[in-house]
Structure 1
């Protein structure tokens, strides 16, 4: 099959993106080595902080309290995925309740719209008081940053389900819960998941801030440890890993949206 005239080849955006990234890294490396020790100390080039991290056996911290960077990355992933998964399930269940009960919609709708604009970071003091400093706090912050928006999106997706689908299901003998399970739920999943992917960046930032509050592991804790030790190599390495990890997770969510939840209503 020939591509249409005027359309760029499929590989061009990918190659252009990698070339742009390579140019940024080259300029960064050159600036760090050619501008003297002052700039290199503030903004260390990639070769410098990667070498420093490799020499530490990819561990951060002091003595027996040193933590593996790999374990920190996995800890952050576990927290953000746990919070997002709980928020996704809770949002869909809440949407089901509200769609099946007018009283529930009248009662809970205003509360959801009141709490949705609150930034997840604002929940940190409350979470620390209730749960203390630990994994539960980080998961809770991610949950609060995603749940309310996803619930509102679920309600919007439910309203978009064609009434004809529900009518046909009713004519075939399906009751209200069955119509929701076999008609509404499959219809709304792609749209709700797409919004979950859109809100991943907010959830990612929320878990990092929660880790900075006092957790010993996680990517946010790496940044705080670098600050406390005045170690810019560690700070820059943490920032690069945060950006790369977030990019990879976004691609993973995009893969799920495109090849698993691919249908549209």
Structure 2
């Protein structure tokens, strides 16, 4: 969890290419470190991408990169913990870029916030902290519904969580998610209805701020980018 009782900026970004998301996190990490911005939760969706974590091994990507590229899926090496995972529209991604005193407690707080968010959707989910690092995340029975992977450098975290909401699920069969041969699920599959992503975003932001003891403050994307000296993806 965070080591501060100050505000938590919450920024809703919409659909963001994965590489652009990485650049924003790095700029934001520097801004939090030097005090230009308070700790911030970025909430967004990504264009299709497979990301490779520090613990990834051979065989987690079942096909060669060209096969994924033909299907519009980028492959990205990252510095986050965990193994291979998949991002696409319809998945709610959260990147808490903030000061962290205890990385394990930080991950456990994410799991708790997601479990509470899903409970509000009528989904009985759980974390599995006693089963080892491969079981980090949130589960519905034996089905995984949310993935978590973080990186902490000089006491500030990047990366975060991804909740499967109303995404196309077939691409999960094209990887070994998180190094486990386990079924993946989504809020849509568990409830039989498509979630309202704006409602899901608001709920997870509130639950995350509560667990970190931070005051939730909505920050417009334009103000974030102005503070970081960043421009929207695709802009001149």
TM bin (shorter chain): under 0.3
Q: Greater strand percent: which structure? A: 2
**TM-score, length-normalised on structure 1?**
0.20
- If you compute each CA radius of gyration, which structure gives the higher value, 1 or 2? 1
**TM-score, length-normalised on structure 2?**
0.22
